[in-house]
Structure formats: structure tokens, C-alpha cells
Amino acid sequence: MLRSFRIPHTLALLFAIMAAALAATWLLPQGEFQTSVNDAGNTVVVPGTYQHAEERTTLSPLTLFTVVPRAMAASQDIIFFVLIVGGALAVLRASGLIDAVLGWTLRRVGHSPKLLIVIGMSVFAIGSGTIGVAEEYIPFAAMLITLCLAMRMDVITAMGILIVGYGIGYGVAVLNPFTVIVAQSVSGLEPASGWEYRLALFVPFVAIGVHHVWSYAKKVQADPDASLMKGIEPLHAPPSEYPPLDGRRIVLLLAALAALVLMIWGISTRGWYLVELGALFIGLALFTGLVGGLGVNGTARQFGDGAAELAMTALLIGFARSIALILEEGVVLHTIVDVLATPLSLLGAHLAAVGMMFVQLAINFFIPSGSGQAFVTMPIMAPLADLVGISRQTAVLAFQFGDGLANMLFPTNVILMSILGIAGIPYDRWFRFAAPLLLKLLVAAAIALAISVVIGYQ
């Protein structure tokens, strides 16, 4: 019987979690914290004000069906961004640019897959840990997959470089404006304070991630049957031969690099987000198609086909967002936060710090947004830290670990589901790869939190 059991399709799995969330709104006590606007103009919860709802809100079973289009509407920015990126990548590939760059790269680093893993993961972790890059990594998925397959590694390895780097970057963020800075602001701390300790943690945490990904990659290189993707055809197989990086493609490469620089500049100095980035990719696709010889009709056809390939990914994003929407409308989201946070007051300082991390980890399943989680939990955790005898800076660090590291595993994270959808990785295969790594990182995080209590981390 156990041998015949199979993990359901990711879409079916998310629908089952939605059904469980709906049942929770019927079974759990309903209630909310009072909220207020802090000095920074952000709405935060007021600790100690949780009250049960006077009238119970009962969601209809039909909510399971009506919530999906509403959740997709609420997630339209990332859904449309993913579709646009898919279209742009299809145009870039049709021009021969991506394959030409991959061929050039393979001739230089193809002898050292480990170098690709170390450099790639470090770059992704630095981007996430400093300026909070996340959705912007989605365009790199297809290129990484093709590169790793050409080096006799598999799709899991490629996405390990990307997703693990992104998760560790958020977990040990030095300056992330969407998580660390927000959590510190809510907690009454100086923005970016305590960066020295977080910077010291960066290298060992990345090293743990590199070791896990490289150990898996070596097994796959030695025995392709050891791949967790065995039996699944890759969506982005490497070509049998690579086109030359000629003059026309060098012009296209310079345009792509200019778009990348413009993207970094816009994010860091102008507050650009998915709308502006989507516009940038549309412009890049149009330039690439016309200069690359595809013509108007060819460019439009390739763009449409590339976007169509990511229709399932768009659905996964909508279903993932539906889970949190059900809990919010069922008025049990704050109940879950209150129930998870209350026992921490009974623990000693060291255990309370580690306990905070696991509470944040659990809450991240229901509130995958880092800034959203900070606004809901840190007004509770910061005063709680004072009561149990640990610094508020340690409470923020516990928040980082619980929020960021979970990004690489929890299916409610729409960015994770977007990348897995693009890569064609079933969630159960990814879970088998990422769950052991998350356990290793949580052990390291618990040690780091215990040390922060000992040294009085401020």
C-alpha cells in the first residue's frame, strides 16, 4: 500500500492545503489584535490586545472555488511578471543569444562545476541579503538549468544554486530592506544595526548550502539514476551544439547586460518593482527580436509561446496565495500567531530565542511575505524578548531565520512555486532535496541564536 502511494501533483497539494485552511476557519477560535500606525507609518499589531471575535465569520465551502480568482487578482503583479519573463526568455533563446552565451561559459567554467555552484550561490545570497532580490531571480532559472545539464548535473542542482542561495540570503540577511530593516524598525532598533554579527554568519551558512548542493551534484554526476528527477524529462535540455557568439549576438548581450544594470539601478535607487521590471523585459524582448532577426511577427509568436509555457506556474501562484487569503478572511490568522507566541514566555532565554525562530518558521507557512510577517509578529516578539531576557536584536535574528530559511521549502511561497514551475520540478521531488538542508540550517541557526544570547547581541 505504501509503495503505491504517490505525492499528488503540486496543484492538487495546494488545493488540499486550501481545504485544510478552510476547515481551520471553522474549528479555530476567531479573533484579532488591535492595530496602530507606528512612527514610520506602518500598520502593526498592538501586543496584548488579542480579543476573540464577537461574531463568528463562517466561510462557505464555495470559498474554495471563489478564492482562487480573487487570489490570482491579488497576485496579478507577480503572475504577469512571470508570464512576461517567460515571453522575454523565449525571444532571447530564439535569437540564439542564450545558447551562444552558455556555450561561451561552458568553454571557460565547464571544467569546474563546483566553481559554478560556489560563485552562483554566493551571488544569489548576496543579492537577497543586501537589496532583497527575490522575484528578480526568476529569469535566471532557465539559463542555470541548461548550464547544469551541460555539466552532467541535473535540474535540482540548478535550482539548488538559485533557491538555496536566495533562501540563505534572506535568512542571514545583512541589510535586506524588506525583512531586516522592517523588523528592526517595528522593534524600535536602529536600521541595519547589528550587521557585523550577521555578516560573520553569512560565510558559514553559505558553506552549508554549497556543501549540500555539491554533495548532491557529485552523486548525480557519478550516477545519473541517483537524480531526484529520474523519469522526468527536463523542460530546458541543452542543445547538441552551441551557436557562435558573433557580432549581432554581442550587441544583444550588451543590451541584456544594460537591462540588468538598469534593473539593479532602478531597484536600489528608484524603488522599481514588478511593474517597472516587467516593462523592462518587454522592451528587451522587442529589441532582441528585431535586432536578432526574428521580425515583428516572429518576435510576437515567440513571446506568446514563452508566456503560454508558464500558465501552470501562474496557477500555482494563485493557489498558493489562496491559502493566506482564506485564513485572513476566516479571521484565524492572528489566532494562530497568538497561540504560537504565548508559550515562549514560559521558556528561559536560550530556549526562548530558539523557540522564537520555530514560531516564526511556523508563521511563515501562513504569512509568506517577509515584511507582512514582520508587521504582524515583531510587535509581539520584541516586548516578549524584553520579558524573557534576550535582546530585541536577537528577536529580529530569530525572525530572519524563521522567515528566510523557510522560503526554500514552504509551498505557500509563491516565488518558490514560480521557480519550481518554470523548472518543471514536482514539489515532492524538491521537498526530498530541500528538507534535509533546512534541518541542517536550522541547527546552525539555533547555535547562532544561542551565541547571540551569550554575547548579548545588540
The string of pLDDT tens digits covering residues 354-370 is 998 998 998 888 777 77
Q: What is the pLDDT of residue 239?
A: 64
Q: What is the mean pLDDT of residues 265-276?
A: 80
Q: Is residue 333 very low, low, confident or very high in pLDDT (cuts 50, 70, 90)?
A: confident
* Per-residue model confidence (pLDDT) at position 39: 66
Distance, in Å, from the CA atom of 407 to the CA atom of 411, rounded to the nearest integer, reads 9
The pLDDT of 3-19, averaged and rounded, is: 72
Residue 2: the pLDDT is 40
pLDDT attached to residue 387: 64
Q: Across the chain, what does the average pLDDT equal?
A: 85
Q: Give the three cell numbers for residue 130.
A: 543586501
pTM: 0.74
pLDDT at 5: 47
To the nearest whole percent, how much of the chain has pLDDT over 70? 94
Q: Output the nine-digit C-alpha cell for 162.
A: 538559485
pLDDT for 130 equals 81
Candidate from 5-19, 63-77, 143-157, 311-325 with smallest mean pLDDT:
5-19
Would you state the pLDDT for residue 40?
57
